Amino acid sequence: MQMRAAQKGATLIVSLVFLLVFLVMALSIFRGALTSAQAIGNMQWRNEAISAANETIDALLSESRVATDTANLTQEVNAAPFGYDVNGDNAADIRVSFPPVTIDVNGVASTRAGPRCLRIRPIPPSELSPSRPQDAGCFASSSAGGIAVASGGGATPATGSPSLCANTEWTMTVRATDPSTSTSVDVVQGFAVRVPTVSVPVCD
């Protein structure tokens, strides 16, 4: 009887050990699944924020003021950020605006929001053609010597006078935030814009 009782006791201990091992394995599997679900959720929220930021950048680049009235444009966007509904409840889940960005300007830290002009290059008339519609507005009037008429009747740019256009290079950072998921993503976009010389901005 004592031997049978000892065997039953040993069997019970072994069973408890196996149960404990299975419990630890089950908890590990559950924790791994939960971590994977969280990672997938975080990736999805981040992708949604990036998509909203890119849509905002596209909308801003379609604005002619992005290179000629950046201060007012920045103020307007930050006062009323772009809103995106991602879950169909007719409420803006993600908001996109201009965050303050610090850059080094000649050894001095400069912090501000909005598009930043990096470089300006006046376009010489030799790079323009009157036959291209996008170049038409870059020539000075013929009385100012901006366009010379060739003997064959075709117009050619006069190289002696500057054109009325300049190429500008920019960088723009927008921030997409989703308070409900604590997601915040900054997207940086570089772009180039041709502007009239009368509207040339001040570059950093």
Instruction: Give whole-number Cα distances, 44 to 47, 81, 114, in Å.
Output: 5, 22, 27
Q: Which residues contact 10 (CB under 8 A, 6 or more apart)?
A: none
Q: Looking at beta carbons, which pairs linking 108-115 to residues 24 or more positions away fall under 8 Å?
A: 110/204, 113/74, 113/78, 114/70, 114/71, 114/73, 114/74, 114/77, 114/172, 115/60, 115/66, 115/67, 115/70, 115/73, 115/74, 115/170, 115/171, 115/172
Q: Dump pLDDT digits (tens) for 126-162.
A: 888 888 888 888 876 543 333 333 333 344 444 456 7
Q: What is the pLDDT, as a whole number, of residue 51?
A: 94
Q: Which residues contact 145 (CB under 8 A, 6 or more apart)?
A: 158, 160, 161
Q: Report the predicted TM-score, pTM, of the whole model to 2 decimal places.
A: 0.69
**10-residue stretch averages of pLDDT, the chain, 204 residues long:** 57 77 78 69 86 95 88 95 90 94 80 91 86 81 39 43 86 94 93 86 77
- What element of type H or E holds 10? helix 2-61
Q: What is the pLDDT, as a whole number, of residue 200?
A: 76
Instruction: Give whole-number Cα distances, 108 to 56, 104, 105, 112, 203, in Å.
Output: 30, 5, 5, 13, 14
Q: Dump pLDDT digits (tens) for 162-186.
A: 788 889 999 999 999 999 888 999 9
CA-CA distance, 72 to 77, in Å (whole number)? Answer: 9
Neighbours of 5 (CB within 10 A): 9
Q: Enter the DSSP assignment of 59.
A: H
Are 160 and 139 in contact by the 8 Å Cβ rule? The answer is no
Please report, for the chain, the start and end positions of each structural domain, with discontinuous segments joined by +: 2-120+165-199, 124-157
